[in-house]
Structure 1
Amino acid sequence: MKCLKCEKDNDDTSEYCVACEAPLLAQPTTIDTSPPISESDSSLADTSMAGSDFSEKKTFWRKIVGFRSKTRWMVLASLVCGLIIIAVIVLKSNLYQSAGQNTVAVAKMYQEADGFLKGKNYGKAQQVLNDLIQRYPDSSEAAQAKAILTQIDTVVRQEEEAKAQEAAIKKAKQSAALSMMRSRYDEAKNVTWYHASSTTQYRNDTDFYIYIGKYNTGNIELKFRIQFCNDNWINIKRYVIKADEQTFAIIPNSSDIKREALGGIYVESMDVLLDADKCKVVKAVAASNKTILRVEGDKYYKDRVISAEEKNAIQNILLAYEALGGTN
């Protein structure tokens, strides 16, 4: 189809000229036999052509405006897509950073729980592991923590059973030890004295022992007595006790030593409260294979070996002391 404006040939299907973009109007195929156009008709034709030019310009600017509008939307869409991409990148970065921080936190908690386990502080370990599971349930450490908690429950139960069994055995020993005590009530002092049945009842026998005093008020105490008999005065100033490879020295106050002569036998005895230091001594003696007791005076000293019977008596007294409510 030929353009009426620029007379260029165009495809019959086109609505606008490819050269000048003017609208293409259908052209008649018959030969024009109309009479010549008069001046008035020419004026009308010019007016028609002017209207056609205005319409073409309007269509052209509409295309320009439409193109610019499309361009704006494309730019806006590009900006939105760019912002979305940036947001996704930032979100991923934050997620990776958060994941890294979580990994460090989980590892720290796991290490803390492991430290408590090595110290056998099972309560603290359980607390940390439960916190780890609650805060990071999807982590691999949470699954491990659950398995460890199961193991802890088993260990704690076994230890509790072992402790209960040990306590039952100890209680039986305490009861047995208490049954082997002899007791004497001192009405003047409102106290009951408990001695091992093998301990001497006489002042003229050599002995090394401890005994219990339980008052009516409920107070309970342990006392320590070293009774030494000789055919002459030693005038004891110090006791040296060698229990296996351990050596102890006890230096009593002069008021702690009692001396008496009983039918040609000279008795020197120390009878004092069993404090913490002396308790270490008697426990070492009771647990030893061999203990030598040396009593030292101004000029002389004497040695003797503590017997197995004396060691057993010390152990029984300690058990009976706990059975009566004492602690050592």
Structure 2
Amino acid sequence: MRSFISLFIIFILILTGCSATGPNLSAALEDSHAQIVKLQEENEQLKKEIEELKNGPEKLLARAKHYFENKDLENISSTMETLADKHPEAQEIQLVQEMINTLTTEKEKAEAEQKKKVEKEAAEKKKRIAAATQKMRSNRDEVNGITWYRDKTTTQYVNAKSFHIYFGKYDDNTVISPRLKIQYFGDQWVYVDKYIIKVDDEKFELYPGSDIKRDNDTKVWEYYDTNMGTKDWEMVKKIISSKKTTVRHQGQYYYDHVVTDKEKKALQNTLDAYEALGGEIPTG
């Protein structure tokens, strides 16, 4: 403001001429001072008008209505503070307060409903987990802090023919992706190097490589135990809903195993328990 006044005085001096002295200069300065005072008054009036346009009761009410329509409780509360501070006697205060009360009630109701929903989902999850795990047999690895789950109808030993899946969970509740296990048990070696799985009219092939395990006693057994990927997950889902699935243990010889209804049910039970405990569809 001081810079403006100085510039204004310089401007007046230029207009009156640099040669003005004595009474003429004093009159010019008085006149310029009067004009400055007038400009200051006009400036203050303009500020008030701008403030009224921006933060007058009607404007603040309109702003509050906008926030109300957008369910913006934070900004409407801020607008209320401005209104109460600048216009404590304005009738608009009551209207804005009613809007705040309405939004507050809606927020509390929404929070209560969300809490109820979360509690219901938690109860349903607990119930689902209990139902799913009741069908599981579990055994604990104390050293690694893992509990392994498999269907109660699934064999625990390798000296049996089987096509099944199982999974684990760490003590921190991290769920381990399911594993697929294919077992052969018989009188003769097959020397498996490939599995051909025919699911109705669709074929899948698995190559165990060096992961195949073999042993023998009075009989022989060969089995493959591997992490499931996305394709394996999709295959298992198709096996569960298939009319007929045949697993060919292909090698120097071959052996065909038809997946039984009991095995299909065990597959489904294990997937249910896996998902109920928080497991996700494996990737890769």
TM-score (norm 1): 0.45
Structure 2 partner of 1:10: none
Distance (Å, rounded) in 2 between the aligned partners of 1:252 and 1:292 = 22
Asked if 1:269 is matched to 2:223, the reply is yes
* Residue correspondences, number: 223
Give 1 or 2 for the bigger CA radius of gyration: 1
Alignment of 1:1-328 (within 5 A): 87-88=44-45, 90-98=47-55, 106=63, 110=67, 129-137=72-80, 144=99, 146-184=101-139, 193-202=148-157, 203-212=159-168, 221=176, 223-229=178-184, 233=190, 235-237=192-194, 254-259=209-214, 268-273=222-227, 277-278=229-230, 281=233, 285=237, 289-290=241-242, 307=261, 308-318=264-274, 322=277, 328=280
Q: Report which stretch shifted further, 285-294 or 177-186.
A: 285-294
Contact 2:160-2:185 within 8 A present in 1 as well: no
Question: Aligned letter for 1:164?
Answer: E
* Structure 1 residues 295 and 284: alpha-carbon distance in aligned structure 2, compared to 1, 3 A threshold: closer
Deviation at 1:313, TM superposition (A): 2.4
Q: Report which stretch shifted further, 195-204 or 133-142.
A: 133-142
Distance (Å, rounded) in 2 between the aligned partners of 1:192 and 1:267 = 26
Identity of aligned residues (%): 18
Match of 1:96, SS state, is: helix
Distance (Å, rounded) in 2 between the aligned partners of 1:290 and 1:262 = 35
Distance (Å, rounded) in 2 between the aligned partners of 1:136 and 1:283 = 60
Distance (Å, rounded) in 1 between the aligned partners of 2:119 and 2:235 = 24
Deviation at 1:197, TM superposition (A): 0.7
TM-score (norm 2): 0.50
Contact 2:150-2:270 within 8 A present in 1 as well: no
Question: Aligned letter for 2:213?
Answer: K
* Structure 1 residues 263 and 313: alpha-carbon distance in aligned structure 2, compared to 1, 3 A threshold: farther
* Structure 1 residues 261 and 162: alpha-carbon distance in aligned structure 2, compared to 1, 3 A threshold: same
Q: Kindly provide the CA deviation profile for residues 17-62 of structure 1, in whole angstroms up to 9, marking residues without a partner as x.
A: xxxxxxxxxxxxxxxxxxxxxxxxxxxxxxxxxxxxxxxxxxxxxx
Gaps of 5+ in 2: 1-36, 84-91
> Per chain length, whose mean CA-contact separation is higher, i.e. which structure has more relative contact order (CA < 8 Å, sep 6+)?
2
Question: Aligned letter for 1:198?
Answer: T
* Structure 1 residues 214 and 151: alpha-carbon distance in aligned structure 2, compared to 1, 3 A threshold: closer
Deviation at 1:154, TM superposition (A): 1.8
Q: Kindly provide the CA deviation profile for residues 101-137 of structure 1, in whole angstroms up to 9, marking residues without a partner as x.
A: x77x958x949x95xxxxxxxxxx8xxx342133212
* Structure 1 residues 95 and 280: alpha-carbon distance in aligned structure 2, compared to 1, 3 A threshold: farther
Distance (Å, rounded) in 2 between the aligned partners of 1:278 and 1:242 = 17
Deviation at 1:311, TM superposition (A): 3.2
Q: Report which stretch shifted further, 178-187 or 130-139.
A: 178-187
Contact 1:241-1:291 within 8 A present in 2 as well: no
Gaps of 5+ in 1: 1-79, 115-124
Distance (Å, rounded) in 1 between the aligned partners of 2:184 and 2:255 = 12
Q: What value does the CA root-mean-square deviation take over the aligned residues?
A: 5.6
